Chains A and B, each alone.
Chain A
Amino acid sequence: MEAGRQDYNLLVIGGGSGGLACAKEAAQLGMKVAVVDYVEPSPRGTRWGLGGTCVNVGCIPKKLIHQAALLGGMIRDAPHYGWDVAQPVLHDWRKMAEAVQNYVKSLNWGHRVQLQDRKVKYFNIKASFVNEHTICGVTKGGKETLLSAEHIVIATGGRPKYPTHIEGALEYGITSDDIFWLKESPGKTLVVGASYVALECAGFLTGLGLDTTVMMRSIPLRGFDQQMSSLVTEYMASQGTRFLKHCTPSRVQKLPDGQLQVTWEDLTSGRENMGTFSTVLWAIGRIPETRSLNLENAGINTSPNSQKILVDAQEVTSVPHIYAIGDVAEGRPELTPTAIMAGKLLARRLCGQSLDVMDYSNVPTTVFTPLEYGCVGLSEEEAMARHGEEHVEVYHAYYKPLEFTVAERDASQCYIKMVCLRKPPQLVLGLHFLGPNAGEVTQGFALGIKCGASYEQVMRTVGIHPTCAEEVAKLRISKRSGLDPTVTGC
């Protein structure tokens, strides 16, 4: 396809999950495509290669380190099952970090090869808009290039927020951008925040044997089902993570021995407290990467609250030939698979191949905390708000994974709840699963919800025995009945 008077048919700004998916799909459908990707180093100086947040400082390293932590738990289980493991058992952060970083680098490489294979031009330059059809890209060395395209997709994602109003936050704290690339163990860590990033990081740090504290201003996992969120943090507390609830940090100072002294206010008592940590990890949210794009040069509007780019259902911004997908777009779930799908569908629409628009409802997700939380659909609160308490039926169960029995593990927080409409056939509005392999359990049920599953249909599904997932198909006790929801025996 000729680009006409522009260099390219499609220019994608941002080589992450959404950007790459869009670029590759468009190239496959015959468009002349270019991708520009640039990683502004973190305040600590961390940088990484092609692939975006998921590959470099998100999903991938997170899940691998989560796995490292889970393996620690398995090493503890093993003797119960007859394995003779010599004590002491220690963890070498450096060895783990190197293995994880090597894998991530192989993915960076893989992405570059894929772009090459599909004849997508890749530039490692930092882009900003000159006008509606043109960007100016600057290399690390300062060299400038101008690129123009018929269509432009912005997929620049987001970066962790720093609480710059807190003295010492920028100088001494790190974020998720840095934690996965640390060559040395972070040691005794204070994680500030209550997001899934905060809890997942605190979870794996604890699992690796590090002294970990989470400081939260208010509730954990805002936006998620709050009963489930409490159970998540309860489990973490039982595993040794310390929680400082209703506290906000006011100051971070460096001590002569290199340790960090954090001062915070306890909002309940009004008192000030201090603590010493080797590392302070800010996980208080992410901000869209839009500030340095010079969006005003192209007339692209952003949300005044979030600074995210405003888009319609077709991913179109305020400028007809400019689009935005992924974390940078307003009102979208900040998830890799949704960005990928949005990118692919967008490419197909641009090439006239399809009219399909992304369906953002009932997107499943999983929080990979020590005890994992998988969910799809509405939280109990959302369901009640939307339909009214009298019209909602919640089925629930506390269960014990078979593998926990011999391992003598505490299953107090292993819990499932299915939120349904009360009216027969009782459409499933939401499913919440807290337990091992939550992502694997939830995926198939998300399909069920996509198919319009009713409670009756799920109950007619025979369970696979013995698994945790079968407990979803065995939910019988409703909250309304007041009966004990604990599953007993085999």
Chain B
Amino acid sequence: MGGCDRTFQAHQSGLLQKLLQEDSTYDYDLIVIGGGSGGLACAQEAAILGKKVMVLDFVVPSPQGTSWGLGGTCVNVGCVPKKLMHQAALLGQALNDSRKFGWEYGQQVKHNWETMTEAIQNHISSLNWGHRLSLREKSVDYVNSYGEFVEHHRIKATNRKGQETSYTAAKFVIATGKRPRYLGIQGDKEYCITSDDLFSLPYCPGKTLVVGASYVALECAGVLTGLGLDVTVMVRSVLLRGFDQEMAERVGSYMEQHGVKFLRKFVPVMVQQLEKGSPGKLKVVAKSTKGPETIEGVYNTVLLAIGRDSCTRKMGLDKIGVKINKKTGKIPVNDVEQTNVPYVYAVGDILEGKLELTPVAIQAGKLLARRLFGGSLEKCDYINVPTTVFTPLEYGCCGLSEEKAIEVYKKENLEVYHTFFWPLEWTVAGRDNNTCYAKIICNKFDNYRVIGFHVLGPNAGEVTQGFAAAMKCGLTKQLLDDTIGIHPTCGEVFTTLEITKSSGLDITQKGC
């Protein structure tokens, strides 16, 4: 009669101890490990709901010695500095265009790297400060220490000086994010830099080899080229893996036409220092992926952008039995961001199967806090999350790639509408026609529902955002056709899409 299975389970998960202990024996209601986009959002929301919260954030310096303040990847070595540098590059283009619009000033226009990075770092510092202030205002305890689990409900926090302190909490959220991966070849850690280092590099990187084909690689390569540097991108196979490949190729094509050199189907095997300096000179030997061919090149800087590794392997997760994907380091969670250990949750880049984006992490973090402490039932909606790649020609998208759509729905059930467009501002500037491109993928059997939205053009992020909201509301081709465009804009092109891929008709614009 009866049984003790459930009791055993509760003991295993730590629930039993928790129930037996009074909650007041925990130092905190919630400890968040990782002060980035997801972690801070979660912590602050929990504090607003009246809970006692601690955030631990610690940046292990990069192999080159770079470190930064509170705020995580996005603020310090991601979205923010990336977009600001992208803006610097765009301004270079604007300076060119301006002459066509009648502006007159000296022909010699040079870019000063240090001026730019100083301005960007100043802004980042203000954001670091703003985050510290925000935590203080909400009475969230912040500790600049490295957190590791030592046993259930307990972590040890090690600060820069090596001093250890112990803390306990009823619940934990892991939001430690990721760091750039290295190649594992001779010279990579000693001589190469990554996105962790680029945005605060105290000297101009000069002639640069970017290794990788991720959006990080392409965005960085695009920026450096826009600032006037000699840039080569070494790609092992495809560009922007996981993104719509037609769009990826168009992105790459534009970059190539605008001065970025591509070495396709090569991987570096050795990096050697020829000269020390800021920057120095590096020799790179690379091997073809197709045969025995090797090539060599000399660069001032080698920037590795081949992917990112989850910061989950050195935080004692094994001590409390939190399962992680052995290969990727990512943490599998259920649809309420809970790990296999009931009182441990995770948000952000380290989640398995979720998008690595700041707004996703923020949304997930906030909603998690509301469910844990605010009685909410709302889950994070990961469907149709829009994103934008801020390459020289920006690429915004929401929903499925054409390949994925075909895989899921079968080609005959889809209709793809597409067109080139020529932004009005490009006409007088003399910039290419038949380059900017718009494409939507519709599901014929669901009222021509828009299941994929893709735009390649200026301000792609601004254009895409609203369409993402519309897709959330069930956007169809008919609704697009019924909506009036705002004239003259790039976005309006989606309200007048007529030509389908299946018709084979020419979408070349004749300049009107």
- Enumerate chain A interface residues (CB-CB to B < 8 A): 54, 59-60, 63-64, 67-68, 71-72, 74-75, 77-97, 99-100, 103, 106-107, 110-111, 114, 208, 335-338, 341, 359, 363-366, 374, 402-403, 405-406, 437, 439-448, 450-454, 457-458, 460-470, 472-473, 488-490
Asked if B87 and A81 sit within 8 Å, CB to CB, the answer is yes
Note all chain A residues with C-beta closer than 8 A to B97.
71
CA distance A338 to B461 in the complex (A): 26
B236 — which chain A residues lie within 8 A by C-beta? none
Question: In residues 316-367 of chain B, which contact A (Cβ within 8 Å)?
Answer: 357-360, 363
Indicate if the CB atoms of B101 and A468 lie closer than 8 Å: no
Count chain B residues whose beta carbon lies closer than 8 angstroms to a beta carbon of A: 89
Stretch at the interface among B286-294, B406-414, B478-486: B478-486
B103 touches A439 (CB 8 A): no
Q: Which residues of B contact A338 (CB under 8 A)?
A: 484
Contact B511 A110 (CB under 8 A): yes
Does B446 touch A at the CB level, under 8 Å?
Answer: no
- 30 CB contacts below 8 A, A to B, read A67-B424, A68-B98, A75-B98, A78-B95, A83-B91, A85-B95, A86-B105, A87-B105, A89-B104, A94-B102, A106-B511, A111-B512, A444-B464, A444-B465, A444-B494, A448-B469, A448-B475, A451-B474, A451-B479, A452-B473, A453-B469, A458-B469, A461-B384, A461-B465, A462-B386, A463-B465, A464-B396, A465-B359, A467-B465, A472-B466
If A74-B95, A464-B359 touch, whether A488 touches B112 (CB-CB below 8 Å) is no
Given contacts A363-B484, A441-B466, contact A67 B101 (CB under 8 A): yes
Shortest distance in angstroms between B190's beta carbon and chain A's nearest beta carbon?
A: 29
Contact of B134 among A97, A208, A439, A488 (CB under 8 A): A488
Q: Is the CB of A406 within 8 A of B111?
A: no
Residues of A within 8 A of B470 (CB): 444-445, 447-448, 450-451, 453
Chain B residues proximal to chain A, CB less than 8 Å: 37, 71, 74-75, 79-80, 83-84, 87-88, 91-92, 94-95, 97-98, 100-106, 108-116, 119-120, 123, 127, 130-131, 134, 227, 357-360, 363, 381, 384-388, 396, 424-425, 427-428, 459, 461-470, 472-475, 479-480, 482-492, 494-495, 510-512
**Contact B104–A90 (Cβ < 8 Å):** yes
Identity of the chain A residue whose Cβ is nearest the Cβ of B428 in the assembled complex? A99
Q: Inside 8 A of B495's CB, which chain A residues have their CB?
A: 337, 443, 447
A262: min CB distance to chain B, Å: 27
Alpha-carbon distance between A88 and B104 when the two chains are bound, in angstroms: 8
Interface pair A444/B486, CB less than 8 Å apart: no
Q: Check B94 against A490 for contact (C-beta < 8 Å).
A: no
From A81, A450, A461, give the contact of B88 (CB < 8 A).
Answer: A81
Q: In whole Å, how far is A482's beta carbon from the nearest beta carbon of chain B? A: 17
Which residues on the A side are within 8 Å of B103 (C-beta)?
68, 71-72, 75, 89-92
A471 to chain B, nearest CB (A): 9
**In the complex, what residues of B have CB within 8 A of residue A443's CB?**
463, 466-467, 485-486, 489, 491-492, 494-495
Residue pair A75, B95 in contact (C-beta under 8 Å): yes
Q: Identify the 7 closest CB pairs spanning chains A and B, nearest first.
A: A444-B466, A86-B106, A96-B102, A443-B491, A82-B116, A469-B465, A110-B512
A464 B105 Cβ-Cβ under 8 A = no
Distance in angstroms between the alpha carbons of A374 and B485 in the assembled complex: 12
Closest A residue by C-beta to B72: A490
In the complex, what residue of chain B is closest to A443 when comparing beta carbons?
A: B491
Given contacts A64-B424, A359-B482, A462-B359, contact A489 B101 (CB under 8 A): no
Kindly provide the distance from the CB of B29 to the nearest chain A CB, expressed in whole angstroms. Answer: 23
Cα of A464 to Cα of B462 in the assembled complex, Å: 8
A445 near B466: Cβ-Cβ < 8 Å: yes
Which listed residue, A92, A405, A448, A450, touches B102 by the CB 8 Å rule?
A92
Smallest CB separation, A268 vs chain B (Å)? 36
* A388 vs B512: C-alpha distance when bound (angstroms): 46
